[in-house]
Structure 1
């Protein structure tokens, strides 16, 4: 990954978080061991705080760090604790019946979210690659793409073709860590 790609991805992630979009989709989780809360998704990043094992937090976003591991952007539930990054293998998710997906594609890639499950449906919203959504329903006409009705954190709903989404297993958000 080039430096420009990394910087662009980091800026997009930061802009999304600052816009307050992802916290509505926050997923409750617990730390499996004592963990360093870092300023970025890297083992070389500065440590904001050291959180004890069993700390409750909400996962707000995901990225792949310089080390190739998944990192979660988290908000610890203890008032006054800073947001920061923790490696995904240190986080255990609490059970959920919701189904989540992310919009696929290269960073900055835009997709149309439609009023009905077909290309003729009115465009209601534009999603960006990496956006986290809830999957609410699906529809497939014989021999055609499956379409999914998705919901964004701002409560906008609409239909998206299956090839434009990365759908996660039931109860998982972003990824299901193996513990």
Structure 2
């Protein structure tokens, strides 16, 4: 077993837990639909987080050829899947029997934790990409840093228009990144 194969197990477990949490939360919301006032922002972020976790797991395959690993680098790498798991845990409420939920109210009440957790993943990835490229001006590093700042800024405002604008912009940029990566346009 290669070092990557060994280390990827823990990465996969953490990503798997995040995906499981998102899907279970969505399932509970559907079951409690008569007691839930829906709002598009947390639902869109749940979709974006699902895709982010799958994309992060998919992209981690590039490390299969990395021969040398050390504990501290691995801890550094683990910060992104851990942040994505935490974001998955914050994005939708834990639905309990008999309770009513307003997703817009919940979204803004948890925005600090949610968006600081989401921002941590591209921030860590920006540092990793800059280190791998040997330059802080690497396009991947810069785009991740910009994403981290945009998403992180959402933790500090309750303006609906700002959340809508940044969510749609980040979602569009993320979709463009995935399409360009899939088509190997970068």
Q: Pick the TM interval, shorter chain.
A: under 0.3
The TM-score normalised by the length of structure 2 is 0.27
The TM-score normalised by the length of structure 1 is 0.28
Which has the larger strand fraction? Answer: 1
Greater RCO (CA < 8 Å, at least 6 residues apart): 2
Which has the larger helix fraction? Answer: 2
